[in-house]
Structures are given as C-alpha cells and as structure tokens.
Amino acid sequence: MIEFRDPSPWTGRSDPEDGDLALRMHHLAGRADAPVALIGFACDAGVRRNKGNPGAAEGPAAIRASLANLAAPGDPRGFHDAGDLTLTGEDPGPGQQALAEHLAPLLARYGRALVLGGGHETAWGSWQGLRRALPGARIGIVNIDAHLDIRAIGPAGPSSGTPFHQIREADPEGFDYAVLGLAEEGNTEALRSRARDWGVAIIEDHALQITADAGFAVIDAISARNDAIYLTIDLDVLPAAQAPGVSAPAARGMPLHVVEALVARVLASGKVRLADIVELCPPRDQNDRTARTAALIARRLLTAS
C-alpha cells in the first residue's frame, strides 16, 4: 500500500535575540521563492528483497530531525518540503512509480529536487521521475557508493541491489554511470565484470582515502557530456565509525571530507537536477551519528546555488 503524507511542520531552536541572520534550516522550509524541493521515500521493501537489514523507511524522518537545527548558510533561499511517500508491502515497484509521478512535476517547477530514501531502490523511482521531467535530455548518473547496485533481477523481483541494472534496461543507449568509492570486497567479480562490459566509470575507495582528487576527472567528464546529472549518495560508502546506521556498514569506507568534496565538485557543474540520499537505517544508528552525517550532506544539497 502507498500512502502520501503531507509534511509535518518544521520546528527547532530560534534565537531572535541574535537578529534576522540567526536562522536555522527549519526556518527555511516552505519559503515562497524556494528553488529546491524535498521529498521523502519511506520504503524498506527493496532492502528486504536484497537480504539486508530493514529500517530504511525511517530514514526521511531521521534526516529531517537532524537537519532542522543546523545553522542556515548566508543568503539562504529556502526549500519546499513535498512530504513523504510511504510504502508498505514486499514489492517496491508501486512506490517507485509513485515517486516518479510526484517527482516529475516537482522537477518541472523547481531547479533541483532532493529525495530522502529509503534503500537504494529509491534510485529507480528517482531516475524515472527525472526522465519524465527531461524526456530528451542526456542524463549522467554519479553514484557515491560502496556498491555497484547492478545486480540482475532474480525470481524475487527488483531490490535495492538492482536499480542501475533497471535504468540501463530502460535506456541502454543513454546509460552513463559512474561509481565513486567502490569497495572491491563488497562487489562480486560478476558485478565488476558487468560494469566493465557496460563502460561504468569506477574509482575505488582505496584511491579516495586522503583527497577526492581521483574522482574529479570522472565527475568533470560525465558532467561535460550530459545535459543533466543525477547524483545519488549511499551512506554505506562512509566508514562504519561515521555511519553505523546503514544496512551494510563499511569496514573501510571513504571519509566524510572526501564525500563532501565529491558532492561539491558535482554541484559545481551546475547540472545537478536531482539528488538522493539513501540507506539510512535509524534502528541500527548510534547516537544519531549517521543521521547527523546525512543531514550535513542534505544541507549542502538544499542550499547550494
């Protein structure tokens, strides 16, 4: 069953004694001139099918809660909260279709949209929404992730491990995909071989431990040859110490400062029309560490020019 929920009122700390510039992110929600839209996809079905640890359905609420009291940047423009799509049941497909249907008009109205997942099955709904909004555009996909998520669809159906396989099936000629932060030990040789056959650009996590420099050329190239960029960030790319609250915590991972630098480089292209943050699993989080990390990334995506 799919349920659409209007956004709850944003609340948080206020410091009126410090004047008009003492703003936090909750003050920016719902501004009339907002250039960015936000929508949640509360879904566990894809993670369950992928034999992972459920809890991702609680992700959107946890990210909002950690985001609300973060300080707003200078010259803030605000964002529109479009609420949440909540999916119950074992098949993520209806929820992904509903996400696409909600995203397309948001993308027509706003310069950029941010989706809060959900497992990485969110990506199939996200991409479909962007394709509906930009039917003739060349769309490049930048995935900051420890995993390729190009598994073939098995008897159980699509899952959080299959979204980019589904995207390629839907648009084989236009499929342009880069994965930054890949963990070799987290991807079978079958998946890595498929990625090579498909021309997927990969930078492994070993090359991204100190700086993000190894990823910049890939980002610049995919941005240059496409009209729009879909940026997807799987929180399991981060070290378990930074992001324990995911279905598959990383033994090594990629440091947050590197992830932030990669995100900044993609945003600098000026072509990011859609982004999502996926795989937050609040029941497995510790002291909201992962939610707070996700909120830092969300803040950047909601406020960047």
* pLDDT single digits (tens) 3-54: 999 999 999 999 999 999 999 999 999 987 899 999 999 999 999 999 899 9
* pLDDT single digits (tens) 255-271: 999 999 999 999 999 99
Crossing angle of helices 289-303 and 59-67, rounded to 10°: 70
DSSP string, 124-142: HHHHHHHHHHSTT--EEEE
Interval 158-164 mean pLDDT: 96
* pLDDT single digits (tens) 182-236: 999 999 999 999 999 999 999 999 999 999 999 999 999 999 999 999 999 999 9
Q: How far apart are CA 143 and CA 132, in angstroms?
A: 20
Determine whether the annotation assigns residue 220 to a binding site: no
* pLDDT single digits (tens) 121-146: 999 999 999 999 999 999 999 999 99
Residue type (1 letter), 141: I
User: Tell me, what's the pLDDT at 191?
Assistant: 98
DSSP string, 245-276: SBSS-BSS---HHHHHHHHHHHHHTT-EEEEE
User: Which domains are delineated in the chain?
Assistant: 2-303 (3.40.800.10)
Determine whether the annotation assigns residue 147 to a binding site: yes
Q: Are 211 and 262 in contact (CB under 8 A)?
A: no
- C-beta neighbour count of 184 within 10 angstroms: 13
Determine whether the annotation assigns residue 205 to a binding site: no
Determine whether the annotation assigns residue 176 to a binding site: no
Q: How far is CA 100 from CA 73, 122, 127, 139, 263, in A?
A: 30, 10, 8, 15, 23
Determine whether the annotation assigns residue 120 to a binding site: yes
Determine whether the annotation assigns residue 26 to a binding site: no
